[in-house]
A and B are shown apart, each in its own frame.
Chain A
Amino acid sequence: MTAPRKKHREAFLLGNEAVVEGALAAGCSFYAGYPITPSTEIMECMAKRLPHVPDGVFLQMEDEIASMGAVIGASLAGRKAMTATSGPGFSLMQEQIGYAAMTETPLVLVNVMRGGASTGLPTSPGQGDVQQARWGTHGDHPIIVLSAADVPECVEMTVTAFNFAEKYRTPVILLLDEITAHTREKIDLPEPGDFEIFSRLTPTMPPEWYKPFEETMRGVPPMPPIGSGYRFHVTGLTHDALGFPTSRPEEVRALTERQFRKIDRFFEDIQLVEHVGTADAEVVVIAYGCVARSARLAVRQAREAGVRAGLLVLKTLYPFPRRHVEPLLRSCRLAVVPELNMGQLSREVKRVNEGHTVVRTINRIDGQIITPSQILKEIA
């Protein structure tokens, strides 16, 4: 994804601050949010930076529900828009995630996962929102869920989140955890040209020919900014090609199927993973977020101890990258899934396992990270 490197300025940044660098590099010009630990630095940093971006708008809203509303509105008006939150705020945003999915509104939502349900552990890491990110809003809907494990990845995956949102006209959820968000590391500040940047397709036909939700080759209809002369009706009700409510079965089915197909057809583009020594592995660790960093060290130590261990880091969590996971389940005698919850992604691994191998989970829910030695014990 990166073009040849030019000279870069270095900075020592938090994961949260790196998210902002990525968002601005991707062309984000609108942020609306409500602060909550451990995501607050994203908002603070946006408040500092957006006023210096051409036409940049930063809004502190009265709560997370209003924040999502503002972000959806800004996106419909043509902006690349985002918000960030954590557990309790993420729950408040669920209804409108569904609205964004139904109206095919591109946006990026960063959820920095903390520990526990409800108010839980505000300053401790967790990974308990994985299933909520996929299924938190009601009804069948496609969605893209990404994650990042370190500070440079926070830049990269935020750019990716915006690109996917724009390319596929869908809300994209970027799941971080308190550790990734609050770790400082050195990064090269992104320069124009470092990343390939996508923007939504806009209609080119005369306005009177335009049908907002018409079937297209890619399944992603072009999207004009509201107010540009194209008639564009938006509703959360099931709608026809013109965007008006319908309950005619063939139109309802066509809409839902197209919404799924526009994501399904591009799994190869969307499902991002990193393989570390999986080619000859007998034991594979499947991890994401901060736990992937513990796993990286554990796998290296296991190799030193003579165990043929490998690591699959999931950068895309949904749609679940089964094309990468399945072959490993067939070739390895053991798969270990460490995560900071009671077993949310391991459900998906078990779902696609179909008896190929043994799937062992490591679950930690005490607000602490899973250590390399905890993983090493299971694989060595």
Chain B
Amino acid sequence: MSGADSRDSAAKGAMAERNGNGGGNGNGNGQTLARYEIRLSGLGGQGILTMGKLLGQALALGHGYYVTQTQSYGPEARGGASRSDLVVSSEPISYPKTEYLDLLVALSQEAAASYYSYLKPRGTLLVDSELVRQSPTNVFLGLPFTRLAREKVGVAQATNVVALGAVAYLLPFARIEAMRKSLKTALPEKIRDANVKALNLGYQEAKKHFGQPITLPDPAGEGESNGVRMDLTDIMAED
């Protein structure tokens, strides 16, 4: 009963693992992961749910993790808030939704503002730097995903996949080949090439601008704030 599901031990487990691995990039195959929570958010029509499916499929089938991908959207066909939550773990996942986020991807100003408060201390915020004009924090990563998609891929609809490429780079346990494979199996033939191009573009841009993939926090500096914020009875995520 070591509670791989509780966020508390999730953080510890992940940290221990990072220490052992020394923060290498991308080579995540077989890396033990307790509970890593990701939220992809933006507006209806931006392809948030597709992005969640592609990422989840890659992590579940390509990497062998347990993944739950849930979604939340309004009744509108376009516009309105849209988000997809993923929980990634080496062990079976009970609660399928997220409580506090390790990674938040926001493709709209509204999304960045509403979900920022769910980030864990030292969680990562990744935004579309042109759509999110005012980041709720100074500590964030940004790339102009929509502009990159429009100008370099030639299809604005590939925004989500450009962002997915950046996520593939940032997640220390993800492998870009598995993402590519997920893309190829999930998307219809005629849009495949443009999307693979978009994925590679996002990956390369992230590598160029962000330097290192996410390093999970050092346990020494984190223990106390963790203790306060992660008191189990205090959690009241309003998901």
Tell whether, in the assembled complex, residue B66 and residue A296 are in contact, meaning their CB atoms are under 8 Å apart: no
Evaluate contact between A297 and B5: CB separation under 8 angstroms: yes
CB of B6 within 8 A of CB of A304, answer yes
One of B103-111, B155-163, B168-176, B230-238 contacting the partner: B230-238
Instruction: For residue A280, give the distance in angstroms from its CB to the closest CB of chain B.
Output: 13
CA distance A374 to B67 in the complex (A): 23
Q: Closest B residue to A10 by CB, please name it.
A: B61
A142 to chain B, nearest CB (A): 33
Give the chain A neighbours of B224 by CB distance below 8 A. none
Is the beta-carbon distance between B75 and A123 smaller than 8 angstroms?
Answer: yes
Bound Cα distance from A10 to B66, whole angstroms = 12
Give how many A residues have a beta carbon under 8 Å from the other chain's beta carbons. 32
Inter-subunit contact A122/B75 (CB<8 Å) = yes
Are the CB atoms of A376 and B61 closer together than 8 Å?
Answer: no
Q: How far is the CA of A372 from the CA of B1 in the complex (A)?
A: 17
Question: Could you say which of B57, B71, B95 contacts A372, with CB atoms under 8 Å apart?
Answer: B95
Report yes or no: B232 in contact with A301, Cβ–Cβ below 8 A.
Answer: yes
Contact A179 B94 (CB under 8 A): no
A315: interface (CB < 8 Å): no
Contact in complex: A300, B99 (CB < 8 Å): no
The reply on A96 being an interface residue by CB < 8 A is no
B237 contacts A304, CB within 8 Å?
no
Residue A186 CB within 8 A of the other chain: yes
Total contacts A to B, CB within 8 angstroms?
A: 100
How big is chain B's contact interface, by range? 20 to 34
Contact of A12 with B232 at beta-carbon distance under 8 Å, contacts A179-B96, A293-B96, A300-B94 already known:
no
The residue of chain A having its C-beta at the shortest distance from the C-beta of B76 within the complex is: A123
With a cutoff of 8 Å between Cβ atoms, the chain A residues found around residue B60 in the complex are 10, 12, 185-186
Given contacts A297-B95, A300-B3, contact A373 B70 (CB under 8 A): no
A 256-275 to B, binary, CB cutoff 8 A, 1 in contact else 0 = 00000000000000000000
B57 to chain A, nearest CB (A): 4
Closest to B70 in A: A183
A369: interface (CB < 8 Å): yes
Q: Kindly state whether residue A303 has any CB partner on chain B within 8 Å.
A: yes
By CB atoms of chain B within 10 A, which of A290, A297, A374, A376 has the most?
A: A297
Q: Is the CB of A123 within 8 A of B95?
A: no
User: In whole Å, how far is B187's beta carbon from the nearest beta carbon of chain A?
Assistant: 14
Q: Are A373 and B236 in contact (CB under 8 A)?
A: yes
- Once A12-B57, A296-B94, A297-B6 are accepted as A-B contacts, the answer to whether A368 and B1 lie under 8 Å apart by CB is no
Choose among A10, A186, A294, A304 the residue that contacts B95 (Cβ–Cβ < 8 A): A294
B42 within 8 A of partner (CB): no
**Given A12-B60, A296-B94, list of 7 further CB < 8 A pairs?**
A123-B75, A297-B95, A300-B94, A305-B232, A369-B239, A371-B237, A373-B234
